[in-house]
Structure 1
Amino acid sequence: MDNNIRATLGELQLLRAPAWGSGSLQTKGKRRRRCERRQKRGKRAGVLARLKANANRPPIPLLFLSNVRSLDNKLDLLRLRMNVSEEMRNCAVICLTETWLNQTMPDSAFQLAGRQLFRADRSQLSGKARGGGLCVYINKGWCTNCVLVNSHCSEATEQLTVKCRPHYLPREFSAVFVIAVYIAPDADANNALKELYDNISSLQNKHPDAFYVVAGDFNHVELKNTLPRFYQHVNIPTRGNNTLDRVYSSVKDAYKAFPRPHLGLSDHISIMLVPAYHPPLRRSKPTQKTITVWPSDDTAVLQDCFGCTDWQVFREAAECEGELDLEEYTSAVLGYISKCVEDVTTTKTVTYYPNQKPWLNAEVRSLLKARDAAFRSGDSDELRRARRELTGVKRAKAAYAQKIQGHFSSQDPQSMWRGIKCITDYKSNVAQSSKDPSLPEALNTFFARFENPDTPPSTRLPHSPGEEPLSVTPAEVRRTLRRINPRKAAGPDNIPGQVLKDCADQLSDVLADIFNASLIQAVVPTCLKTATIIPVPKSSTVTGLNDYRPVALTPIVTKCFERLVQTHIKATINITVDPHQYAYRKNRSTEDAISSVVHTALTHLEQKDSYVRMLFVDFTSAFNTMIPQTLITKLSSLGLSSSLCNWVLDFLTNRPQSVRIHNISSPSIILSTGSPQGCVLSPLLFTLLTYDCSPLHPGCHIVKFVDDTAVVGCITNRDESSYRQEVEHLEDWCRENNLFINVKKTKEMIVDFRRGKHAHLPLHIGGSAVEVVDSYRYLGVHLTSNLTWSNNTSTLVRKAHQRLYFLRRLRRAGLGSAVLTSFYRCVVESVVCSSINVWHGSCSAADRKALQRVMKAAQRIVGVSFPSTTDIYTSRCRKRATCIRKDPTHPAHALFVPLPSGRRLRSIKCKTTRLRNSFIPEAVRLLNST
């Protein structure tokens, strides 16, 4: 640099100081050079900043909605706003309601530069001479391939549907449907909802993978119950304090609404809907997994290997002075099996992409690469040829659908359902655990928080003279091994279930010897009770350690051992000793537990001056707080042998436990409290622990389904003393058995139909008041304080509508009616008819109509007639009543009393319609009518 110039720059203080050199240290408070930053500079956050950075390629359209009240008067204002606002210029869709246009006004007078106009004026079919009208403007910079699908005008609704295939569209969407809607304030809401439902349902049947956005002035009509799979995005008032203009879409959290000024003198504010949707390819990063590759002859090789093995060598090596070291014997056998499996198999690393489908094979990927190369080259002829050849994608998808159809024909339901889930993405949104390396150890400590170091060591029961320990035969072990599900994950021993199942004949003798040695010594080897916890998020949003569910992964060999012991326990102990427990009992279900609660309440409410208080108890980690010593004392009192009680005690104590997330494992912790969630014996042991939790007073009932406990207090003349004593007794019982009641999640519901308002004193547990609710979800069914079923029915309808989407995708894939029918019965009908015996007889006509609407939609999709919900209810109710009558141990068996003739049952006296339409009285009438 010239010296004169340098001097001038120095005088102006524009020369860089020497300290800014690349080799110098940064001084505090000064800006760092970009090359010296250790990480990339961040960007502004928020949907507006993201839209501004990618204005020409939004994943879903940027939408502007306004009720203009005469477009003719607002057109200049709209053009002015587009000239001065970049946001309006980039807007992909402009949806206007109440345009007040008619046939005498030409389209050319209302064109906007760079946009395509679609309009639907009010006709005489609406019964009104003026007003109404819809307009949709599509930005040609966003989409040029757009067509008018339909327009509809009636006394109830005005609709305008436009189909768009924009220049850029995420792979998960096949098209974008924009549906503009106007519903007059005096329109009939039911008719309007029916017309909207018919239009949208027919579009979804033809285009299940499309993105739908329904925008307009809805006034007093809401789509929440009719189209529960559509989500409303406008959460601000649009006229006064009311939200009349709404935008629904088929994707949750797809938009974020921002208010914009009125257009002229319109009495509605305008709304700008900014895309907040993230495509799956951006939400999830590609993942790498290491998989095991099994050669074609692996089964034969392993069978020959295990068949030629002298297993007696392992036993002799573990014996010392005639005493068998069971720990060494078991570890050697399992280690040998694992080593043989490692010698036969190989591993490889594969990459999974979030939008990867099995029909995207090598041929399809090469066609996509050829298309991209032709696009980059700029050769239009080559690009047209490459796009024509992309029909190979359709052929590959059709071939995959035919493969699934072949699985159905060849009686391979497992492969069929795996393919169906892949096509429909059914239950694919699983919350992922954090990758924080310190999380596994923190979770392991949290899951072991119930371990009390001051607890005295467990004491084994004395051996009873003449008592023979349990023994199993190789044939029993062989049958258990052959029933293994090969798709279950291997435990800490890394022995796959497929190997145990295929080599059952070769391994049954040595495993039976290990099992019998364990039963004789009443000792469980440490390698068989080691557990690896795989934390599963309880919901999509994780806020703390308590939002993870500890699912234990134990060796598959241990699960087989537990099944053999479980069979013996059930044969030894009369599990019907607890009539209030409905779980893990033959001819019992959640439906029976719910019916018991509802029938008890309805029967008591027939009396004068009566009401019912229901307490739904929630336990804190019930399985993890069991004291093994308390458990075996109860098992012994129930008649289980002392040797097997000691075996259970050893199985639950001194258990090594670690937590694994991805490829990170925590150090092991030794536990002697609780039972691992995921073990075969855990649910049975818990139900036996709670067998003595029974009511003290005849006016109180306790209904249990594992740890879901409900206390029903039948109160007359406002005397709640027995109910409150029952709750205090339950507190004492929980304290003695080391179970902790979670008062925050424990809820109480009061059913009181007496005239006038009556104040009810709150119930306290552990010094804290229990919250009183009007609705509670008990065992999957929504109970309400007025004992109506609208809340439950609307929930079922909403869930069924969501699953109809998967049915539409299967139909779009070209699967046959037999596969569609099977999917419907397993996925849709199972939801609609969940616990139908409890609630269908008492639900309202509107609820039955909503249920039947789902059935009719499924019939149109599949093309096959399905039975109505009433027919299903009648059939299931009669079948269930017959099963209860044949089971004298069932708690409801005493309600089916035969008349002296023996041909009919005694009718149940009912004063109210509520009781008359419930399950038990209706079942008696159905049996008497046959």
Structure 2
Amino acid sequence: MASDILNVEGYSLFSTCRTDRRGGGVAVYIREDIQAKAIPQVRVPSELECLWVRLRPTRLPRQVSSIVFCATYIPPNSKHQDLLIDHLITTTDLLRELHPDIGLVFAGDYNRLDHKPLLLAHQLQQVVNSPTRGEATLDVVITNLKSHYNAPAVINPIGNSNHKAVWWQPRVRPKTPNKTKDVLVRPMPDSSLRAFGRWITTHNWDEVLEEATVDSKTLAFYRTLHEAMDRFFPEKKAKLHHKDKPWFTAALKSLIHKRQRAHSNGQMTLYRFLRNKIARDILQEKKTYYKDHIEDMKTTHPSEWHKSIRRLANWSAPSATIHVPDIDLSNKAGIADAINKHLSAICQALRPLDWSKLPTYLPCTLPPEVSIWDMYHRLKRIKVSKAPGPDNIPPRVIKEFAFELSTPMTDILNSSLREGKVPAPWKEAIVVPVPKELPADLDKGTLMGPLVFLAMFNDVRPVTENSHWKYVDDFNLGEIRLISTPSSLQRDLNHLDNWATENHMLLNPKKCMAMHFSFVRAPIQPPVLTLAGQTLKTTTQARLLGLHIRSNLKWDDQVDVMVSKGSKRLVVISRLRRSGVPIADLNTIYCGYIRPLLEYAAPCWASALTQRQSAALERVQRRACRLMMGRQFVSYTAALQHIGLERLSTRRQKLCTDFALRVERSPRFSTWLPPTRGQQHGRQLRNSARYQQPTGTNRYLTSAIPAMIKSLNEL
């Protein structure tokens, strides 16, 4: 087709045409005022119809560096569907490695292609929710920019097309300021520490020792120490950005400030010089920071190595939010005050203690005397990584000069014990309310809390012969019955309700659910169960100890969750590789932080995986190998051999076999397995140690226990 027919005035055309037959192909039109270019690093297989274009509009959200648009067409029932998904995922890995903050938009006619692997691999969303042809949504828009755009509108077809068009517009968002904050720091160079040491070793602390009361001693101590701190370690103001990297130095910040000022003043020659210098310096800092500051920690201080790796990869837990009614989320002080009032109200509701009714024991024993050496040993145990408290004394100073500080602090503490009074500065504390990541898990609380709860909770049991399982504060009831047999679960629930009332506990029926497993041809109505006067809702899926269970006993949800979690952490490998971390250390990160997510509770579900589910898990490891090796990656098999990894399917088989052997040797859990042939007939024959292979449906034979029996028989 002639180019003048395809061209549209005011737009740049990017297109790729079919070479094996007439018609078809994909094209992208972009306004001429938007910078756009093809991506030379992307190689599209000849079997696919894909077009990749990188855009750089004049204004973009601060967290988006540029936008990559991928136009795609896949025919219905194409034999290249898996090839297309692999191409989209691996190319996105490449682009995110080159441009970590890139925006992604995949659009085109996907013709009922299962694009879930792409969504899970890169945490993308499909935003078209209306049919585009008949009753089917064939034309999709997949992106990580959903929050920056309005919901797409499906409008009438353009020209003679039999597909409706999709109109997707950006949101008008207010300009948000850069998230920076000013902090006060006390630099402690060695010269200042030596000068401070010369002062404190000659100071006699008479102003503290000669005071009469504990309050006056404490005020004199802090007054002297703060004056010395301000003299030897003066405070300086530093500006921090919430995305500052560990290798980002003050010199780089100064260059960036000069670059921006040159751009504002129109000094373009100086601007380009500084821009190129900053790019070179950043690249050099990235390459040398790991080798100079982190690499040796792997053998000398492994815990610090892992912490440094997480900081280098900008890998931190998402900040949790505490919602308090009628208080704005930005009002941190108001939230803390509300929590404090709520907690103090618990004690205020109790009757005041009547001191006149307390017994008196006289004569009273003298308080213990704290020695200087006891105080010294305590101060030496302070962790220097902790932040200073309200007194603003750095832990490093306290630990390094523990001997000199032990004399005045011992005097203050002994005076406090004699007077029966705690100094006012020692009553202050910086309290930060930290919300729990998960709902009320007792295994993450204090030491005594779970023990006390277990002591109270351990005697709850069903009154029938139904099975029950308990894990900390989780309690599960289960029954196996014939269709003609009435359910006995309600009796156990009534008993549980009565037990809670007798033990002054409250049950939460809103967090209790019932799941019904039945595979009969004619579905039956599950029994209606009630707890504490409320009907329990019936669900088809539940999460038990991190395992996602469905009523059809399929593992789609579990695999999707594992693929999604593993894919999210692959970005860590990409960031660390750009920082010069070698392949061996990247492999350590993968084996320690990513692969366990793909193998969690493998003996429960590994034997029942479908080929597609197994391939989805294997794809995550293949992507990890590609990210670790970069341009050295040739094939998955060669990468596994070079890095020293096994296929996930091979590891799952070994994990399941090891678990079966542990079950067989366990006095407690060996009852899960049936008797061996020798135990059944009492004779020592060739196959006496083998188990009778179960028979039944394929669903049963691929479940955990029959699969373990098969593994043990094959040893």
- TM-score for the superposition, normalised by structure 1: 0.59
* Residue in structure 2 matching 1:351, options 239, 253, 273: 239
Whether contact under 8 Å (2:657, 2:711) holds in the other structure is: yes
* Residue in structure 2 matching 1:393, options 277, 282, 288: 282
- 1:737-886 correspondence to structure 2 within 5 Å: 737-863=503-629, 864-881=643-660
What is the CA-CA distance between 1:286 and the residue it aligns to? Answer: 2.1
**Does residue 702 of the first structure (1) align with residue 506 of the second (2)?**
no
- 1:876-915 correspondence to structure 2 within 5 Å: 876-881=655-660, 888=667, 891-895=668-672, 907=691, 910-912=694-696, 913-915=698-700
What is the CA-CA distance between 1:119 and the residue it aligns to? Answer: 0.6
What is the CA-CA distance between 1:744 and the residue it aligns to? Answer: 1.6
What is the CA-CA distance between 1:441 and the residue it aligns to? Answer: 3.4
Whether contact under 8 Å (1:145, 1:166) holds in the other structure is: no
What is the identity, as a one-letter code, of the residue corresponding to 2:456?
A: L
What is the identity, as a one-letter code, of the residue corresponding to 2:285?
A: A
* Residue in structure 2 matching 1:234, options 124, 128, 151: 128
Whether contact under 8 Å (1:285, 1:353) holds in the other structure is: yes
Partner in structure 1 of residue 640 of structure 2? none
- 1:588-603 correspondence to structure 2 within 5 Å: none
Structure 2 distance, partners of 1:381, 1:440, is 51
What is the CA-CA distance between 1:794 and the residue it aligns to? Answer: 1.2
* Residue in structure 2 matching 1:440, options 336, 344, 353: 336
Structure 1 distance, partners of 2:542, 2:702, is 21
**Structure with the largest fraction of strand:** 1
Structure 2 distance, partners of 1:763, 1:501, is 61
Whether contact under 8 Å (2:286, 2:580) holds in the other structure is: no
Secondary structure of the equivalent of 1:801?
A: helix
Structure 2 unaligned segments of length 5 or more: list them: 323-328, 355-370, 410-423, 630-642
Structure 1 residues 224-260: Cα deviation after superposition (integer angstroms, max 9, x where no partner) = 2344122222233333443222111244534322445
What is the CA-CA distance between 1:763 and the residue it aligns to? Answer: 0.8
Secondary structure of the equivalent of 2:169?
A: strand
What is the CA-CA distance between 1:134 and the residue it aligns to? Answer: 1.1
- 1:609-620 correspondence to structure 2 within 5 Å: none
Partner in structure 2 of residue 614 of structure 1? none
Whether contact under 8 Å (1:907, 1:921) holds in the other structure is: no
**Does residue 184 of the first structure (1) align with residue 79 of the second (2)?**
no
What is the CA-CA distance between 1:784 and the residue it aligns to? Answer: 0.7
Structure 2 distance, partners of 1:686, 1:491, is 33
Change (3 A) 1:378 1:309: closer
Secondary structure of the equivalent of 2:510?
A: coil
Change (3 A) 1:431 1:339: farther
Change (3 A) 1:802 1:885: same
Change (3 A) 1:416 1:241: same
**Does residue 217 of the first structure (1) align with residue 109 of the second (2)?**
yes
Whether contact under 8 Å (2:66, 2:101) holds in the other structure is: yes
What is the CA-CA distance between 1:790 and the residue it aligns to? Answer: 1.5
What is the identity, as a one-letter code, of the residue corresponding to 1:702?
A: W
Change (3 A) 1:298 1:216: same
Partner in structure 2 of residue 534 of structure 1? 432
* Residue in structure 2 matching 1:688, options 439, 446, 455: 455
What is the identity, as a one-letter code, of the residue corresponding to 1:412?
A: H
Structure 1 distance, partners of 2:265, 2:177, is 31
Structure 2 distance, partners of 1:133, 1:484, is 68
What is the CA-CA distance between 1:370 and the residue it aligns to? Answer: 3.5
* Residue in structure 1 matching 2:305, options 400, 411, 416: 416
What is the CA-CA distance between 1:820 and the residue it aligns to? Answer: 1.1
Partner in structure 2 of residue 642 of structure 1? none
Change (3 A) 1:880 1:351: farther
Partner in structure 2 of residue 16 of structure 1? none
Structure 1 residues 664-719: Cα deviation after superposition (integer angstroms, max 9, x where no partner) = xxxxxxxxxxx9x7433323332333222234333221322x22222223334554
Partner in structure 2 of residue 402 of structure 1? 291
Structure 1 residues 801-821: Cα deviation after superposition (integer angstroms, max 9, x where no partner) = 222222222223332112211
Deviates more, 1:404-413 or 1:239-248: 404-413
What is the identity, as a one-letter code, of the residue corresponding to 1:263?
A: I
**Does residue 248 of the first structure (1) align with residue 248 of the second (2)?**
no
Structure 2 distance, partners of 1:771, 1:255, is 37
- 1:369-384 correspondence to structure 2 within 5 Å: 369-384=257-272
Whether contact under 8 Å (2:466, 2:477) holds in the other structure is: no
Structure 1 unaligned segments of length 5 or more: list them: 1-104, 319-327, 459-473, 512-525, 540-548, 550-617, 624-674
Change (3 A) 1:336 1:276: farther
What is the CA-CA distance between 1:828 and the residue it aligns to? Answer: 1.4
What is the CA-CA distance between 1:529 and the residue it aligns to? Answer: 12
Change (3 A) 1:829 1:292: farther
What is the identity, as a one-letter code, of the residue corresponding to 1:792?
A: Q
- 1:164-203 correspondence to structure 2 within 5 Å: 164-166=55-57, 172-173=63-64, 175-188=66-79, 189-203=81-95
How many percent identity over aligned positions?
26
Partner in structure 2 of residue 113 of structure 1? 9
Partner in structure 1 of residue 181 of structure 2? 287
What is the CA-CA distance between 1:350 and the residue it aligns to? Answer: 3.9
Secondary structure of the equivalent of 2:14?
A: strand
Whether contact under 8 Å (1:700, 1:722) holds in the other structure is: no
Change (3 A) 1:387 1:923: same
RMSD of aligned residue pairs (Cα, Å) = 5.1
Secondary structure of the equivalent of 1:534?
A: coil
Structure 2 distance, partners of 1:272, 1:816, is 46
* Residue in structure 1 matching 2:169, options 274, 277, 285: 274
**Does residue 135 of the first structure (1) align with residue 22 of the second (2)?**
no
Structure 2 distance, partners of 1:922, 1:350, is 61
Change (3 A) 1:351 1:184: same
Structure 1 distance, partners of 2:449, 2:392, is 22
Structure 1 residues 162-218: Cα deviation after superposition (integer angstroms, max 9, x where no partner) = 234555556655543221111223434445434433444454455544332211111
Structure 1 residues 383-413: Cα deviation after superposition (integer angstroms, max 9, x where no partner) = 4433332322222232324335524555334
Whether contact under 8 Å (1:699, 1:715) holds in the other structure is: no
Change (3 A) 1:533 1:356: closer
